[in-house]
Amino acid sequence: MGVMDSKVALVTGAAAGIGRATALAFAAEGASVALVDSEEQRGALVADEIREAGGRALFIPADVSQADLANAMVGATMSRFGRLDFAFNNAGIEGDPGPIELCSDQNWDRTLAVNLTGVFLCMRAEIPAIRDSGGQGAIVNCASIAGLNGFPGLAAYVASKHGVNGLTRSAALELAADGIRVNSVCPGAIETEMIQRIKVEQPELIERTVAAHPLGRLGQPEEIAACVIWLCSAGAGFVTGQAIAVDGGYTTQ
């Protein structure tokens, strides 16, 4: 028996990395999990992994930047599981690096559409479902240390992640009376497929990145997942409107 046996969680960007680790963590706690991703084959495999371990999972293909698809993912979750208690709005993209004056309209628009508008659209669909399920639920949005600090060459990404933290704070105040808590998690450099690519292409950049984190290593997706699970737990029942850095000490400098 898990502490979340009667609960339902929705995770976007669930096909890999932090999203996959968090979907597996929710399932390990006993929750039914709706997994959302635009990568259908990989997302379905994660759902299969949960079911093979004895859990309950539903995979929903969706681009979270599309309002109709964000609405449909919540509708599918409610149809299958009958309720929604927790949401981890994690789907995001890096965008193209480069100085502001070379940032294309397409790069700006797409980065903001997925990283910020996508979180807004998901929350707008999730909130009524959580409220209708009895409230006392929790939403966690995935921001970044780039939502707390500036980084040269990543203007669109940084702007989008600062926006996620602002949206989180506003939503926390709106929903406090309903007993729905809203927080964001702000990862530092985490060992994901993106980092693996950079390790091959720019090993010296990874060395500098690790050195910039006081703990002297990259974080693991499971460490972010553990923070998300805690933020959704009764143990975090007095925590709302916070942007929690899980960054090996990076933002303390």
Active site residues: 157
Q: How crowded is the C-beta side of 172, counted as CA atoms within 13 Å?
A: 20
Rounded CA separation 155/98 (Å): 8
Contacts of 182 (CB under 8 A, 6+ apart): 123, 138, 139, 140, 141, 168, 171, 172, 175, 240, 241
Q: Is 9 helix (H, G, I), strand (E, B) or coil?
A: strand
Rounded CA separation 138/234 (Å): 10
Q: Do 60 and 34 form a contact (C-beta atoms < 8 A)?
A: yes
| Termini Cα distance of the chain | 42
Q: Do 147 and 97 form a contact (C-beta atoms < 8 A)?
A: no
- Helices 193-201 and 203-212, packing angle to 10 deg: 120
Q: Do 58 and 27 form a contact (C-beta atoms < 8 A)?
A: no
Q: Do 85 and 7 form a contact (C-beta atoms < 8 A)?
A: yes
